[in-house]
């Protein structure tokens, strides 16, 4: 069964290209689907949100996300990245400092909780 972008709450921008606004955050996720490949732009604010985005992307693209682009290291853009274990990940310059340091990861999590994300 083919599903439309709109049925999943996404806005279709062109053939194989769409976006969705995340509820509760000022964050837009993008998807570009091609022949056997899919690029997702940003990963959402949590593992659960990332998993929902992964499922949506697979249904819309007909394949798993193969490329993940993280635009900047704010919680609502990156904390869902673990839901895409097979994707090749690209991140903004300097982002490695946030992902590699324990203190920086803790600050990212604290920011998410401060903005209302469930700490569990």
Q: Is residue 1 domain-resident? A: no
- pLDDT of 109 strictly over 90: no
Instruction: Say if 97 falls within a structural domain.
Output: yes
pLDDT band for 1, please (50, 70, 90 cuts): low
101 found inside a domain: yes
Residue-number span of the structural domain to which 21 is assigned:
6-114
Q: What are phi and psi of 14, to 5 degrees?
A: -165, 175
Note whether residue 53 is domain-resident: yes
Residue 119, in any domain of the structure: no
- Using alpha carbons, list the distances in angstroms from residue 6 to 9, 32, 59, 64, 98: 5, 15, 12, 19, 34
Q: Can you say how many angstroms the Cα of residue 26 is from the centroid of all Cα atoms in its chain?
A: 13
| pLDDT interval class at 97 (50, 70, 90) | low
- 22 pLDDT above the threshold of 80: yes
CATH of the domain at 104: 3.60.15.10
Q: What DSSP character marks residue 11?
A: E
Asked if pLDDT for residue 41 goes beyond 80, the answer is yes
The answer to whether residues 110 and 79 touch, using CB atoms and an 8 Å cutoff, is no
pLDDT digits (tens, 9 = 90+) for 45-85: 989 999 999 999 999 999 999 999 999 888 888 889 999 99
In this predicted structure, the answer to whether residue 19 has a pLDDT above a threshold of 90 is: yes
Q: Where are the alpha helices (DSSP H) in the chain?
A: 47-61, 75-78, 96-100, 102-114
Range from 12-26, 30-44, 89-103 carrying the lowest mean pLDDT: 89-103
> Does pLDDT of 39 surpass 80?
yes
Buried/exposed code over 54-74 (b: 16+ C-beta within 10 A; e: otherwise)? bebbeebbeeebbbbbbbebb
Please report whether residue 21 resides in a domain.
yes
| Number of structural domains the chain divides into | 1
């Amino acid at each position: 069964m083919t599903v439309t972008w709109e049925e999943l709450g996404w806005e279709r921008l062109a053939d194989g290209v769409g976006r969705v606004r995340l509820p509760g955050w000022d964050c837009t996720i993008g998807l570009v689907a091609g022949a056997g490949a899919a690029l997702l732009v940003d990963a959402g604010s949590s593992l659960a949100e990332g998993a929902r985005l992964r499922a949506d992307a697979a249904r819309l693209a007909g394949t798993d996300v193969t490329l993940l682009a993280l635009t900047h290291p704010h919680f609502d853009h990156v904390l869902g990245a673990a839901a895409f274990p097979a994707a090749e990940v690209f991140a903004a310059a300097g982002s490695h400092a946030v992902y590699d340091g324990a203190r920086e990861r803790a600050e990212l999590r604290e920011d998410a909780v401060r903005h209302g994300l469930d700490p569990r």
